[in-house]
Amino acid sequence: MRLLGLTGGIASGKSTVSNLFKDAGVPIVDADIVARDVVRKGTGGWKKIVKAFGNDILFENGEINRALLGQIVFSDPEKRQLLNHLLAPHISSAIFWEIAKLWMKGSKVIILDIPLLFETKMDRWTHPVIVVWVDPQIQIERLMSRDGCSEEQAQNRINAQLALDWKKSEADIVINNSGSLDDTKEQFQEVLRKVSEPLTWKERLRSRDGLFSVVLCTAVGVLLAQKNLS
Ligand SMILES: CC(C)(COP(=O)(O)OP(=O)(O)OC[C@H]1O[C@@H](n2cnc3c(N)ncnc32)[C@H](O)[C@@H]1O)[C@@H](O)C(=O)NCCC(=O)NCCS
Ligand SMILES: Nc1ncnc2c1ncn2[C@@H]1O[C@H](COP(=O)(O)OP(=O)(O)OP(=O)(O)O)[C@@H](O)[C@H]1O
């Protein structure tokens, strides 16, 4: 199994690239979706957030007011660390199960779309790591226009993550998303070609079929050895 990391900065275009992978039929584990699921009303993550941030963080229907929680944690690093600390175990185990389900289905190439891939050190488990990079000025403009936030709020959100230029320097593959969508699609075709190259023998061993082959060969080997001994 080939486990690829897809990351970048806030509003750098991860979802845009992730959708291109989806359209090409490559399975994705989306950490933002996972992070939403683990705080649904009544879950363990939800209980921890209510305990730490109080009932004021809830809508009348009991769901978390994400916009309000976002305003709090993106303007206060200590509160953000608290939220990260509370949710990290829930997010990582849910990601693990998503990978396990795809593995059991026999998926050979899986994309982990994780905004905080480097921050959470999950890059250790993924190869290659694809970083979606964007020019800083364009990033802030796209973020303000998508989320309808002020420049200060946008900058706070950008500052809550490791520098995008540093992530770029750590990447195995960089997609520059500063241009048009067509530019990005063109770069994506080359990335898709690399990602779809035949698996290495290590990656094959990690896939479901590879593991079954090893187990089968070992069982046959043991049976033959027993037969020869008797
Ligand atoms: C703060 C919350 C409530 C804001 O929710 P909202 O719906 O407005 O944003 P959404 O979840 O779609 O995230 C948008 C982007 O913000 C960035 N972001 C989210 N959480 C964080 C964080 N803790 N630190 C830095 N950046 C973050 C990511 O780039 C993400 O793609 C939410 O992001 C959250 O619960 N974050 C903590 C969980 C987490 O770490 N998520 C990232 C997945 S690895
Ligand atoms: N090449 C592009 N040209 C113009 N707009 C773009 C381009 N790529 C992305 N966008 C727009 O920029 C915004 C951010 O893109 P996207 O949501 O893919 O980023 P993201 O990295 O997934 O963000 P987040 O970290 O918040 O999840 C969106 O409104 C998207 O439509």
The answer to whether residue 156 sits within a structural domain is no
In this structure, are 59 and 101 located in the same domain? yes
Q: Which of 34, 46, 63, 83 to mutate to test the pocket of ligand 1 (most atoms within 8 A of CB)?
A: 83
Query: Taking a C-beta distance cutoff of 8 angstroms, is the pair 117, 34 a contact?
Result: no
In this structure, are 23 and 111 located in the same domain? yes
In this structure, are 19 and 81 located in the same domain? no
Range of the domain at 124: 1-27+107-150+163-197
In this structure, are 95 and 167 located in the same domain? no
Query: Taking a C-beta distance cutoff of 8 angstroms, is the pair 39, 69 a contact?
Result: no
The helix/strand/coil state of 176 is strand
In this structure, are 11 and 52 located in the same domain? no
In this structure, are 116 and 136 located in the same domain? yes
pLDDT in tens, 114-166: 999 999 999 999 999 999 999 999 999 999 999 999 999 999 999 999 999 99
Write the Ramachandran bin of 3: left for phi over 0, alpha for psi from -120 to 50, otherwise beta.
Answer: beta
CATH number for the domain spanning 11: value is 3.40.50.300
The answer to whether residue 226 sits within a structural domain is yes
Please identify, by atom number, the ligand 2 atom nearest to the C-alpha of residue 16.
18
- Binned at pLDDT 50, 70 and 90, residue 45 comes out as very high
The answer to whether residue 47 sits within a structural domain is yes
Tell me if the pTM is above 0.90: yes
**Sequence-separated (6 or more) residues with CB below 8 Å from residue 156:** 74, 75
The answer to whether residue 186 sits within a structural domain is yes
The answer to whether residue 33 sits within a structural domain is no
pLDDT in tens, 171-211: 999 999 999 999 999 999 999 999 999 999 899 988 888 77
In this structure, are 18 and 99 located in the same domain? no
Counting ligands in written order, which one lies closest to the CA of residue 134?
Answer: 2
